[in-house]
C-alpha cells in the first residue's frame, strides 16, 4: 500500500514540475520579460526552484534505521543588483526553502539563505567579496551525522580580497575570511568560528600565466552544545607557492603547493602539520566535452571533540558533455571523495579514558541530465550514490558518537526559474 502511494507521489512530482514550467511559459509570449525588472541601474529578478527527491536512506542510517521516503522542496526568492555585470556592482540574493517529507512529516522544515556580493574597481585597486548567512534545518549525514534528528544551525561566511596592481605584471593582495557554524543546543556538535588572513603577491610570468606566493594565519574557536567539553581554541599558519592561468590551449586553472601547521592553545597542546595542497584545473577535451578536477588538503578541528585535529583531503572530478547541437542539453557526471584523518585524543567516559582517534571516508558519484530551453529556465534529472565509512582506532569510541557508516541512493527532478 505504501509502495503504491510512493509511486503516485513520484508521478505527482513529475507532473507538478512540468506544470510549473508550462505555467510560467504561458504567462506571455516572452515570459523572460516578467523575470527581470530594471530601473535606474537597479535590477530585480524573481527566482523560483522546486525539487522532488526520492531517497532510500532518509536518516543516513544502517540496518533497521534505513528508511526510504520522498522529499519535496519549494524555494521562492529574488535577486537585487545594482550595477552592470563585469563592472562595479553590489548584489543581494534571498531564497526561502519549504521542505515536506512525505511519510515523515515530523521532519518537515523551512530554511532561509541570504547572499551579498560586492565588486568595486578604482584605479589600481580591486575589491571583491561575498557574505553569506544560512538559517538551515535538515537531517545530516557524513562526519557530522546525527541519527534521526533534524539539526537547526546557522552558517555564516565572509570572504573579501583587496588587490593592488603595483605594476603591469606585479600585484599584491590581502584576503580576509570568516566562517562560523552555530548548531542547535540539543546537538553534540561543536560550534566553530574561524578567522583567516592571507597576504600574497603574483607576477605575470607569461602572457597567460601568473606565479603566486602567499602566506596565511588564522584562529578557530569552538563552543559546546548538548555535551559539555573542555573547549580549546586553535591557531594555524602556513603558505603556498603556485601558478594560475592558461597552461595550454586546452588546460587552465591553478595549482598551489605549501605547508600548514595547526595547534591548540591549551597547556597540553595537540598539533598537526601537513603539506597544504590546492589544485583547480579545467580541461577542454573537445568542443563538446570538458573536465574539471579540484583537490584540497587542509587541517580542521574535529566537529565532535575538543583538542582533536582532522587532516582532510577533498577531491571532486566532473565531466560535462553537451548533447546535440542546440546547446540546450548537457550530461554531467561527478565523483567526489573526502578523507579525514582525526588525531589521537583521549576522552573520559564511564570512568574510563577512551582514545577517539578515527578515519572518515565519503565516496559519492552521480549523473545528471540538464535541459535549459531558455536562459531563465532549467530542468535537471539526477541520480546520486553516497557511501560513508567510519573506522575507530578503539572500538569503544564508537559508542560516544551517533555517526555510523551508511550508503544512500537518491533520485531527483528539479526545475529552476529565473536569471
Q: What is the pLDDT of residues 308-333, one digit of tens each?
A: 899 999 999 999 999 999 999 999 99
Bridge-based pairing state of the strands 346-349 and 352-355 = antiparallel
* pLDDT, position 164: 98
Nearest to 57 by CA among 337, 416, 419, 409: 409
Cell numbers at 279, concatenated: 589544485
Cell numbers at 290, concatenated: 570538458
Burial group, residue 21, by CB count within 10 angstroms (0-12, 13-18, 19+): buried
Q: Where does the pLDDT of residue 402 fall: very low under 50, low under 70, confident under 90, or very high at 90 and above?
A: confident
CB 104 within 8 A of CB 9: no
Q: What is the Cα–Cα distance from 414 to 99, expressed in whole angstroms?
A: 13
Q: What is the Cα–Cα distance from 113 to 379, expressed in whole angstroms?
A: 21
Torsional sign, CA 178, 216, 282, 291: negative
Q: What is the Cα–Cα distance from 91 to 277, expressed in whole angstroms?
A: 32
Q: What is the Cα–Cα distance from 80 to 418, expressed in whole angstroms?
A: 12
Q: What is the Cα–Cα distance from 256 to 216, expressed in whole angstroms?
A: 13
* pLDDT, position 30: 63
Rg (CA), the chain: 24
Which DSSP string do the residues of 173-228 spell out, in sequence order?
Answer: EEEEEEEEEEE-TTSSPPEEEEEEEEEEEEEEEETTEEEEEEEEEEEEEEE-SSS-
| pLDDT tens-digit series, residues 32-84 | 677 889 888 899 999 999 999 999 999 999 888 899 999 999 999 999 999 88
| pLDDT tens-digit series, residues 126-169 | 999 999 999 999 999 988 888 788 999 999 999 999 999 999 99
Residue with cell 546557522: 154
Cell numbers at 123, concatenated: 584605479
Q: What is the mean predicted confidence (pLDDT) over 222-246? A: 88
Q: What is the Cα–Cα distance from 288 to 256, expressed in whole angstroms?
A: 29
Burial 76-104 (b: 16+ CB within 10 A, else e): bbebebebeeeeebebebebebebebbeb
Cell numbers at 35, concatenated: 523575470
Bridge-based pairing state of the strands 406-417 and 377-392 = antiparallel
Output the pTM of the full model: 0.88
26-30, 91-95, 114-118, 411-415: which range is least confident on average? 26-30
| pLDDT tens-digit series, residues 259-296 | 999 998 875 557 889 999 999 999 999 999 999 999 99
Torsional sign, CA 25, 28, 30, 35: negative
Own/partner contacts of 37-44, CB < 8 Å, gap of 24 or more, are: 41/82, 41/83, 41/84, 42/80, 42/81, 42/82, 43/79, 43/80, 43/81, 43/82, 44/78, 44/79, 44/80
Question: Please, what is the average pLDDT of the chain?
Answer: 89
Share of the chain above pLDDT 70, in %: 91
- The structural domains of the chain, ordered by start, are 2-417 (2.40.160)
Element (H, E) at 20: helix 2-25
Q: Greater confidence, 264 or 24?
A: 264
Amino acid at each position: 500500500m505504501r509502495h503504491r502511494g510512493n509511486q503516485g507521489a513520484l508521478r505527482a512530482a513529475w507532473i507538478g514540475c512540468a506544470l510549473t514550467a508550462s505555467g510560467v511559459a504561458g504567462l506571455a509570449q516572452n515570459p523572460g520579460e516578467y523575470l527581470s525588472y530594471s530601473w535606474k541601474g537597479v535590477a530585480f529578478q524573481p527566482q523560483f526552484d522546486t525539487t522532488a527527491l526520492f531517497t532510500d536512506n532518509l536518516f543516513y542510517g544502517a540496518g533497521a534505521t534505513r528508511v526510504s521516503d520522498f522529499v519535496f522542496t519549494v524555494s521562492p526568492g529574488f535577486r537585487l543588483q545594482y550595477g552592470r555585470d563585469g563592472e562595479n556592482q553590489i548584489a543581494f540574493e534571498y531564497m526561502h526553502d519549504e521542505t515536506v517529507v512525505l511519510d515523515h512529516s515530523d521532519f518537515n522544515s523551512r530554511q532561509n539563505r541570504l547572499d551579498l556580493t560586492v565588486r568595486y574597481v578604482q584605479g589600481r585597486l580591486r575589491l571583491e567579496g561575498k557574505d553569506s548567512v544560512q538559517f538551515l534545518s535538515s537531517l545530516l549525514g557524513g562526519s557530522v551525522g546525527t541519527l534521526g534528528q533534524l539539526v537547526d544551525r546557522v552558517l555564516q561566511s565572509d570572504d573579501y580580497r583587496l588587490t593592488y596592481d603595483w605594476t603591469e605584471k606585479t600585484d599584491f593582495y590581502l584576503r580576509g575570511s570568516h566562517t562560523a557554524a552555530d548548531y542547535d543546543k540539543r546537538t553534540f556538535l561543536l560550534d566553530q568560528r574561524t578567522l583567516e588572513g592571507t597576504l600574497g603577491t603574483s607576477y605575470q610570468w607569461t602572457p597567460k600565466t601568473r606565479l603566486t606566493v602567499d602566506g596565511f594565519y588564522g584562529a578557530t574557536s569552538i563552543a559546546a552544545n548538548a555535551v559539555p567539553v573542555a573547549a580549546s581554541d586553535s591557531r594555524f599558519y602556513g603558505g603556498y607557492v603556485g601558478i594560475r592561468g592558461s597552461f595550454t590551449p586546452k588546460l587552465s586553472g591553478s595549482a598551489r603547493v605549501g605547508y600548514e601547521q595547526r595547534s591548540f592553545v591549551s597547556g597540553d597542546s595537540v598539533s598537526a602539520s601537513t603539506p597544504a595542497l590546492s589544485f583547480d584545473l579545467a580541461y577542454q577535451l573537445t568542443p563538446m566535452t570538458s573536465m574539471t578536477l579540484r583537490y584540497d588538503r587542509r587541517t580542521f578541528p574535529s566537529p565532535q571533540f575538543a583538542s582533536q585535529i582532522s587532516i582532510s583531503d577533498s577531491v571532486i572530478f566532473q565531466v560535462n558533455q553537451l548533447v546535440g547541437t542546440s546547446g540546450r542539453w548537457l550530461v554531467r557526471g561527478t565523483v567526489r571523495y573526502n578523507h579525514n584523518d582525526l588525531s589521537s585524543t583521549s576522552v573520559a567516559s564511564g570512568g574510563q579514558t577512551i582514545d577517539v582517534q578515527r578515519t572518515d571516508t565519503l565516496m559519492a558519484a552521480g549523473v545528471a541530465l540538464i535541459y535549459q530551453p531558455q536562459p531563465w529556465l532549467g530542468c535537471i534529472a539526477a541520480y546520486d550514490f553516497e557511501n560513508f565509512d567510519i573506522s575507530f582506532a578503539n572500538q569503544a569510541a564508537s559508542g560516544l558518537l551517533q555517526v555510523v557508516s551508511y550508503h544512500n541512493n537518491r533520485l531527483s527532478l528539479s526545475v529552476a526559474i529565473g536569471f
